[in-house]
Amino acid sequence: MEFTVSHYNYWLVIIIMMAGFYTVISRGNLVKKIAGLNIFQVSVFLLYISIGNVREGAAPIIEKGISLYSNPLPHVLILTAIVVGVATTALGLALVVRIKEAYGTIEEDDIHNQDQSL
Amino acid sequence: MIETVVDITLLSLIAIHAIAIIRVRSLFAVIMLFGGFSFLSAGLFVVMDAGDVAFTEAAVGAGISTVLMLATLALTYAPAVHKEEKAPRHKPWLPLSVVVITCGMLIYGTWDLPGYGDANAPVHKHVAPYYLEKSLSETGVPNVVTAILASYRGFDTLGEVTVIFTAGIAVLLLIGGRRRKEKVTGQPNET
Amino acid sequence: MKHNLILRVVSKFLIPLIFLFALYVQFHGDFGPGGGFQAGVIFSAAIILYALVFGVDTAKQVIPPYILRLLASLGVLIYAGTGVAGLLLGGNYLDYNVLAKTYLAGQHLGILVVELGVGITVMSVMLIIFFAFAERGRPE
């Protein structure tokens, strides 16, 4: 029981991660795949930040009178990761636009059929 | 106690959004659900004492990403066609089994992780206390995250700015020019 | 959007406030949550709001695309240039200690300048991407 109380966070985050993963591998629409990829990314960020959190700790901004702070290192890593994530999402969406202009569709099955019939 | 309740509520709402994104077929609804998902996860970051991260996630995830997806939807669907995803043709057994196996392995991996919020976890023992004690006296900046980002780990931030710049150039190369007018029947055209 | 009076009036009131908030987040990032990335994204969000309400052409008159390309490169140049300035003044690359008379002042100055470069680049790249997506659908 004590183990469940202290670990339920991680399990819920893993369920969200798997939802994003399932969207990427099983759905054929390209925009939905990119949305699923973003869900996966955000759940990884949640996992990292929850590892760095300290109960009864404050945000890592030094202030007189506070002695217990949350760990600032995961915040730094995740800040960089979020910005890099939006860069790759923008690039992926630009590729989707070009695929639509070249093939006329953004469903994976139709693109595959068009490629195979060439 | 109240923090645990807020935690569980936010996480369940986020999980409901994620599962709804799998099931919903209308693409516009998917993008709106994604915006809500991003916003709720920014709220969860605030509850977990991560102010800078919540700021960035709200601005970038619920702001820029949603706007760009809406713009892509506008560019890839002719107005006459219903903006829906095609019905899935394949049975979901293979992806479902892969997902279940991965989920099992990951949950097995979390068995050894320290409890949530534990102050004696090994991750808080080595480099983090040095930054928390010394950053104000060495850099004069109270915000430890900014001090680490800009001063202690400045090289990483230089690489990150370069990545953003490269992404901007790449998007300009891909879709920078105006598209030549093509018929709405979906004939492929060379650009 | 030209005929929607409420949107036009409210956004004319809100957009300067969003700019002000972006400047606050940029320069107050040393003392509270904030910094270069958040400020750049908020700044670009204000201009995207302007473009959505008043039209992309009007927004392009406010900020022409060639200035955006210039600003994107300028931000990276400011960041890398601070590193080179550290080299020229006798320290290592990206060493802020040598930039001013005391170590503390040098660090503070270095962090401020570097975050400014980051903010400028992030703002212009977000706007470049948005304008590229918005212009693609319009035929020549």
- With respect to residue B184, please indicate whether it lies within any of the assigned structural domains: no
Is C123's pLDDT higher than 90? yes
pLDDT attached to residue B67? 93
User: Where does a domain end: B32, B58, B86?
Assistant: B86
Q: How far apart are CA A96 and CA A32, in angstroms?
A: 11
Q: Which domain holds residue B138?
A: 124-176
Size of interface B-C (CB pairs under 8 A): 142
CA distance C58 to chain B (A): 18
Using CB atoms, which chains have 3+ pairs under 8 A with A? B, C
Total domains, chain B: 2
Q: How far apart are CA B23 and CA B8, in angstroms?
A: 23
- With respect to residue B132, please indicate whether it lies within any of the assigned structural domains: yes
CA distance B60 to chain A (A): 7
What is this structure's pTM? 0.90
Name the one residue in this structure whose structure tokens are 């290592």. C92
A80–B160 C-beta distance less than 8 A? yes
**ipTM attached to this prediction:** 0.91
**Residues sharing a CB contact under 8 Å with residue B26, sequence separation 6 or more, in sequence order:** B83, B84, B85
Share of chain B above pLDDT 90, in %: 51
Question: Is A18's Cβ below 8 Å from some Cβ in C?
Answer: no
In tens, the pLDDT along A75-113 reads: 999 999 999 999 999 999 999 999 988 888 888 888 888
C48–B56 C-beta distance less than 8 A? no
Is B182's pLDDT higher than 70? no
Of the two residues B90 and C32, the one the predictor is more confident about is C32
Q: How far apart are CA B80 and CA B78, in angstroms?
A: 6
Name the one residue in this structure whose structure tokens are 């022409």. C64
Q: Are residues B75 and B141 in the same domain?
A: no
Phi, psi at B189, each rounded to 5°: -130, 155
Mean pLDDT score, A12-41: 92
Least CA distance to B182: which residue of chain C?
Answer: C139
Nearest CA-CA partner of A10 in B114, B98, B41, B54: B114
pLDDT attached to residue B185? 45
- With respect to residue B101, please indicate whether it lies within any of the assigned structural domains: no
Is A70's pLDDT higher than 80? yes
A61 backbone φψ class: left, alpha, beta (φ>0; ψ -120 to 50): beta
**R_g (Cα) of chain C, nearest Å:** 18
C129–B161 C-beta distance less than 8 A? no
Total domains, chain C: 1
Q: How far apart are CA A51 and CA B48, in angstroms?
A: 10
Which tokens hold the place of C112?
Answer: 């401020």
Q: Are residues B72 and B131 in the same domain?
A: no
Confidence of residue B190 (pLDDT cuts 50, 70, 90): very low
- With respect to residue B159, please indicate whether it lies within any of the assigned structural domains: yes
CATH of the structural domain A2-55+70-116, one choice from 3.40.50.300, 1.10.3720.10, 1.10.287.3510, 3.40.1170.10? 1.10.287.3510
Confidence of residue B183 (pLDDT cuts 50, 70, 90): very low
In tens, the pLDDT along C69-95 reads: 999 999 999 999 999 999 998 888 888
Using CB atoms, which chains have 3+ pairs under 8 A with B? A, C
With beta carbons under 8 A apart, name residues in chain A contacting B186: 104-105
Q: Cα dist. C113→A110, C20, C96, C120 in Å? A: 50, 19, 10, 11
With beta carbons under 8 A apart, name residues in chain C contacting A59: 33
With beta carbons under 8 A apart, name residues in chain B contacting C79: 157-158, 161
With beta carbons under 8 A apart, name residues in chain B contacting C91: none
CA distance B51 to chain A (A): 7
Is C121's pLDDT higher than 60? yes
Question: Is C73's Cβ below 8 Å from some Cβ in B?
Answer: yes
pLDDT attached to residue B70? 92
pLDDT attached to residue A75? 93
pLDDT attached to residue B137? 87
Mean pLDDT score, B37-43: 95
Share of chain A above pLDDT 90, in %: 53
B51–C32 C-beta distance less than 8 A? yes
Mean pLDDT score, C45-51: 94
pLDDT attached to residue A28? 85
Q: Are residues B1 and B57 in the same domain?
A: yes
Confidence of residue B156 (pLDDT cuts 50, 70, 90): very high
Nearest CA-CA partner of A75 in C97, C103, B145: B145
Are B17 and B49 in contact, with CB atoms under 8 Å apart? no
pLDDT attached to residue B181? 52
- Which amino acid, residue B97? S
In tens, the pLDDT along A35-45 reads: 999 999 999 99
Mean pLDDT score, B181-188: 48
Q: Are residues B80 and B147 in the same domain?
A: no
Angle at B78 between CA B72 and CA B80, to 5 degrees: 140
Which tokens hold the place of B71?
Answer: 């713009």
Q: How far apart are the first and last CA of chain B?
A: 60
Q: How far apart are the first and last CA of chain A?
A: 60
The residue extents of the domains of chain A are 2-55+70-116
A90–B68 C-beta distance less than 8 A? yes
- With respect to residue B72, please indicate whether it lies within any of the assigned structural domains: yes
Q: Are residues B82 and B1 in the same domain?
A: yes
Q: Which domain holds residue C123?
A: 5-136
Mean pLDDT score, B120-148: 88
With beta carbons under 8 A apart, name residues in chain C contacting B74: 137
